Amino acid sequence: DPEAIVAAVFDVLGATAGGEPPGDLAGRTVLVTAGGTREPICPVRFLGNRSSGRQGHALAAEAASRGAVVDCVTTQPGSAPVGPGIRIIPVETAAEMADAVVGLAAEADVVLMAAAVADFRPVGVAARKIKKEGGVPEIRLEPTMDILAALGRCRRPGQVLVGFAAETDDLRQNAEAKLRAKGVDLIVANDVSAPGVGFEHETNAVVVLDDAGGVVEVPLADKREVARAVVDAALARLRDDRSPNGDDT
């Protein structure tokens, strides 16, 4: 793709010119999830959500531009960023995302869990298209694994875990509850009912909460700008030796 060629050229120029300072994430591995999972009902239909993957992809691009090696597990590989340092791992379902993320998380210094993961999936997938002549179908659901909570229970010391919370009500209270319940360092919360915020928009507005009560407000901005603020907060946390898990770099 043209973007990959351009990115590779810049990479080579930067390396040979020697003038570019190394990014502040050089030597770090960042795992990003992006997009909404699709849980199949039959070969034709699925349960999904409105996530476009844009915020997750902006996070992957931002981390890579700052020198990180990025693994991007995404349900939207066709619109994922390309370039040196970014590996795209395409997935569709919550179970596929869980497998990919759990496998990669052990190596990650930072995990940015921006994907909108289904909480429930149909019990079994119909082998054939469900026809309307059969009447209103009864689709039974079962819970999926909470990937972020699982990472929160078994992460390695020094790893920074960042969750996301898309809310329509009681933004701060819900986000704080998720921060504690999932055992993460930071939670990035947005009110998806506000104009220009979240799903299917080029812009976002978030509040970043940390487990020590710190709050950073990021007003409505391009998703790449928001990604910059989130990566800044994660990097500050990575360097923060106050954290019981933190390293001292």
Q: Which residues bind ligand CTP (CB under 6 A)?
A: 94, 113, 115, 117, 119, 144, 146-148, 163-166, 178
Looking at the Cβ atoms of 148 and 205, the one nearer to ligand CTP is: 148
49 given a catalytic annotation: yes
User: In whole angstroms, what is the distance from residue 182 CA to residue 150 CA?
Assistant: 8
Q: How far is the CB of 14 from ligand CTP (least distance, A)?
A: 32
User: In whole angstroms, what is the distance from residue 229 CA to residue 223 CA?
Assistant: 10
Looking at the Cβ atoms of 113 and 229, the one nearer to ligand CTP is: 113
User: In whole angstroms, what is the distance from residue 110 CA to residue 101 CA?
Assistant: 12
Q: Which residue of the set 49, 174, 190, 245 is catalytic?
A: 49
| CA nearest to 68, candidates 76, 80, 59 | 59
**Quick count: other Cβ atoms within 10 Å of Cβ 167?**
17
Q: How far is the CB of 124 from ligand CTP (least distance, A)?
A: 19
- Two tokens at 76? 């939207």
Looking at the Cβ atoms of 68 and 148, the one nearer to ligand CTP is: 148
Looking at the Cβ atoms of 11 and 167, the one nearer to ligand CTP is: 167
Q: How far is the CB of 31 from ligand CTP (least distance, A)?
A: 12
Helix %, strand %, coil % of the chain (to 5): 35, 25, 40
Q: How far is the CB of 119 from ligand CTP (least distance, A)?
A: 5
- Two tokens at 224? 């790449």
Beta-bridge mates of residue 187: 163, 209
> Catalytic positions, please?
49
